[in-house]
Structure 1
Amino acid sequence: MFWLLFILSIFWFIILLDFIRGFRKITSIENVLPERSSEVISVILAAKDEEASIQQTIESLVNQKQVELEIIAVNDRSNDDTGTILQKLSNKYNQMNCIHIESLPEGWLGKTHALWQGAKITSGNYLLFTGADIHFSPDIISKAITYMKKEKADHLTAAPNLEAQSVPLKGLISFFLFGFGYLKRPWTANNTKNKGGMGIGAFQLMTRECYQSVGGHYSIRLRPDDDLALGMRVKKSGYNQRLVTALKSLSVEWYPSLAAALRGFEKNAFAGLNYSILRALTAMAGVIISQVLPFLFLFSSFPKVQIISAVNVILLFYLYALTTKYLTTYSRWIIVGLPFFILLFIYMLGRALILTWVRGGIMWRGSHYSLKELKQNFKDTEED
């Protein structure tokens, strides 16, 4: 056991060095001095049952400074007052256009289909894909387009402040970001020599030429992780990509409660593991071995094992603290809950995988998507 923990400590130390170097390569959008842009930027958002948030999202877009916006809001088969609210806002604001989708064609996810339809009627040379529950500071888009042009980027994606009400939910979100960090290494988006791509659904700004060249949302029509999949296709195609943080300028309540987070993770768990049972089991075993065992063996009767376990635990806490510092606005005290959040994540992952397997697919916003078609689409998009 000592040698296993020793190897783990080397692994976490290497990850720590990567984190320190990586986070330093991610620019904060708050540091950018915005310049006026006369080019039309087409903002496309899909809304399904978003009556509680859609108005403030639209109004925060309408109030953007130093940019010319065209807002395309897509009402995707909503069962509440989302469509009515959007239509009223469209009548009120000249720069806004609203379209309503009544049915979902076979072979599509609702969100990807809605964004694809919205993109078809845009006129701008720049397209911004976002969500219906995002709040924008008045200068976020002008800062983004300024930075994008300065960097001569084709695609810019921004990490928002993920608001959460409870400590367990904040812990789960920050732990998810920690795992995402060492698995996906998001900072590689800023390295032109690295093929690792990044896409965050809250804010994806790209040139029209880039979007059309990678096949748009049609190419990822059955990807629940459509934002990440789009960003990866952009980078794979050789386009210049940039990732920034926007913790003060962009905010979203990712999930309103811990129960909602558990349900939401059902659609993403298998997608992140390429719909592979083997990968899923390997991932769960990996988390248990690398992150649970060090805590358990702190209570070993062998001093050498206790010491090397303590080294692992310290490294884990440090890595988790770095993630919390750079990618959230949460209190640093949240790191003391790390052991609990690890177990909560394992439960969430296991629950999502079991439900996906039992259902033969995923349930998302009232629609069922079979595992067979999801796997096939994933295979197709990876081969493109």
Structure 2
Amino acid sequence: MGVIVLGLVLLSLTIWLGLLCFRGQFWRTDQQLEAETLDTTSLESFPVVCAVVPARNEAELLPTTLRSLLLQDYPGYFNVFLVDDRSTDRTANFAEGVAHAIGKPQQLHIISGELLPSGWSGKLWAVEQGINSASKFAPDYFLLTDADIEHDPGNLRRLVAKAVQEDLDMVSVMVRLRCDSFWEKLLIPAFVFFFQKLYPFRWVNNPNNLTAAAAGGSILIRREALERIGGIQVIRQALIDDCALAQAVKQSRGDEGELFNKFLTQCPVPNSQSPIPNQGRIWLGLSTLTRSLRPYDSLATIWDMVARTAYTQLNYSPLLLLGTLVGMPLIYLVPPVCVILGAVWGSWAIALTGLLGWLLMAFAYYPTIRFYKCSPWLAFSLPAIAFLYTLMTLDSALQHWQGRGGAWKGRVYPSSDNL
């Protein structure tokens, strides 16, 4: 028995060493928009930008979030298109009131959402309607943002500067999620940590790596890039729409990109970081200033948020679910359990190996804990947090099998409506 346990803890330790050394340094939090050396005053001209905000029953948050969007210190031409997705709380009236209160009524365009057609998710149908209306202004970029996001005054200016100076098709930031209550402090930083492990930001930002991801709270996308992939309708059924959009953009290739790919295939350049010209270049980072106001102040609300898309993330695959149910305990639970077992059995080899794995785990999680200004001791709680996330993933699969998966804002999307 001791030999089996020692083998498991050694395997867990090996996995952590591999993750830390070969997984794109996912555990670091250095990909931050505000930390970028961007000269936002050097642009010769400022592109035309139209923001599209899908809003369904968001009257409570709009006085703060919409105000922050309308008050962006962006020198260029900027309009906001808010799509009232058949709200029942007078969302449109509140939005109009906010615009008048700050003297920006001409900058805000309110669109009454049409009935949701078959084959579309509610959010993406609202975004589609907003983009169609905004296209009349021939914008250079669309800013796709959620109604619960409070934007820092310089957020748009930094996004545009990043996109223009580095010739990017898409720039997005994972906004700072609310982290006030006990459950938010315990579970929200881990949500960001797991997302970064799944989509290492350095890999996303490398034009030669196929990994693609985005954060839907704040996405700036070039109009030409959106048209190149066929518009929002190509991801109209996706629940994890931000990552689906990023994947479509990064994988898109024009004739110039195809020729460049063939050149690299025939004449490979060692360690080449040369991007495919003007095609499929994206960037994803964290934001320290722009933040989400969506509260997750109970275990139930966070559980529902994760369970809504966890099984979707696994492509509804029972095999991937099984791998998750086996892999998560192996990676996260084995080290602390072996510390206890080793101490009880008097096997210092097992105890010390488990402790080393636990320390590596805490070391990887600590930058995220520090980013969210939580207690450093929470870095050692990752095994318990991972156990909860594993249960959430299992519950996500159970909800899917019972026909209750993908519920959001009063709508339930069956698996046939997902990519």
Q: Which residue of 1 aligns with 2:219?
A: 204
- Give me the TM-score of the superposition, normalised by structure 1: 0.91
Contact 1:76 1:101 in 2 (8 A): yes
Q: Is the 8 A contact 1:220 1:229 kept in 2?
A: yes
Which of 87, 93, 105 is the aligned partner of 1:93? 105
Alignment of 1:229-240 (within 5 A): 229-237=244-252, 238-240=279-281
Confirm or deny: 8 A CA contact 2:53 2:147 kept in the other structure.
yes
Map 1:269-308; keep pairs closer than 5 Å.
Answer: 269-300=310-341, 301=345, 302-308=347-353
Shift, 1:101, TM fit: 1.2
Rate the CA distance shift 1:183–1:287 in 2: closer, same or farther, 3 A. Answer: same
Equivalent-residue separation in structure 2 for 1:255 and 1:133 (angstroms): 10
TM-score scaled to structure 2, two decimals? 0.83
- Give the match's secondary structure for 1:359: coil
**Within the alignment, does 1:153 sit opposite 2:168 as a pair?**
yes
**Letter of the aligned partner of 1:256 in structure 2?**
Y
Q: Does 1:82 align with 2:91?
A: yes
The answer (yes or no) to whether the contact 1:214–1:233 under 8 Å persists in 2 is: yes
Equivalent position of 2:33 in the other structure = 28
Paired with 1:109 and 1:154, the residues of 2 have a C-alpha distance of 24
Give the C-alpha shift of residue 77 in structure 1: 1.3
Asked whether the 8 Å contact 1:9–1:308 carries over to 2, the reply is: yes
Equivalent position of 1:162 in the other structure = 177
1:246 to 287, 297, 302: 287
- How far is the alpha carbon of 1:315 from its aligned partner? 0.9
Q: Which runs of 5+ in 1 are unaligned?
A: 379-384
Instruction: Tell me the distance in 2 between the aligned counterparts of 1:12 and 1:320.
Output: 12
Cα shift at 1:178: 2.0
Q: Which runs of 5+ in 2 are unaligned?
A: 253-278
My pick for the range that moved more, 89-98 or 301-310, is: 89-98
> What secondary structure does 2:177 align onto?
strand
- Asked whether 1:346 is paired with 2:390, we answer yes
| Greater CA drift, 348-357 or 124-133 | 348-357
Question: Are the aligned partners of 2:15 and 2:331 in contact in 1 as well (CA < 8 Å)?
Answer: no
SS, match of residue 163 in structure 1: coil
For residue 399 of structure 2, what is the aligned residue in structure 1?
Answer: 355
CA RMSD of aligned residues (A): 2.1
1:175 equivalent to 2:214? Answer: no
1:371, CA displacement in angstroms? 2.1
The size of the alignment, in residue pairs, is 373
Q: State the percentage of identical aligned residues.
A: 24
Shift of the alpha carbon at 1:254? 4.2
8 A contact 1:299–1:306 mirrored in 2 = yes
Question: Comparing 1-10 with 123-132, which one deviates more in the overlay?
Answer: 1-10
CA distance in 1, matches of 2:143, 2:333: 40
Q: Is the 8 A contact 1:26 1:190 kept in 2?
A: no
| Structure with more helix by fraction | 1
Quick check: 1:156–1:205 contact (8 Å CA) kept in 2?
Answer: yes
Residue equivalent to 2:129 = 117
Partner residue in 1 for 2:61: 53
State the Cα distance separating 1:220 from its structure 2 match: 1.1
Residue matched to 1:7: 11
SS at structure 2 position matched to 1:121: helix
Q: Which residue of 2 aligns with 1:260?
A: 301
Structure 2: which amino acid aligns with 1:80?
Answer: D
User: Which residue in the other structure is 1:72 paired with?
Assistant: 81
Whether the 8 Å CA contact 1:156–1:241 is kept in 2: the answer is yes
Letter of the structure 1 residue corresponding to residue 328 of structure 2:
V
Match of 1:62 in 2: 70
Bigger strand share: 1
Q: Closer, same or farther in 2 for the Cα pair 1:101/1:176, shift >3 Å?
A: same
TM-superposed deviation, 1:202 = 1.0
Q: Which protein shows a greater Rg?
A: 2
Q: 1:316 is matched with which residue?
A: 361
Contact 1:266–1:356 (CA under 8 A) maintained in structure 2: no
In the alignment, the residues of structure 1 paired with residue 326 and residue 120 of structure 2 have an alpha-carbon distance, to the nearest angstrom, of 33
CA distance in 2 between partners of 1:149 and 1:239 (Å): 14
Give the letter for the 1:56 counterpart. Answer: T
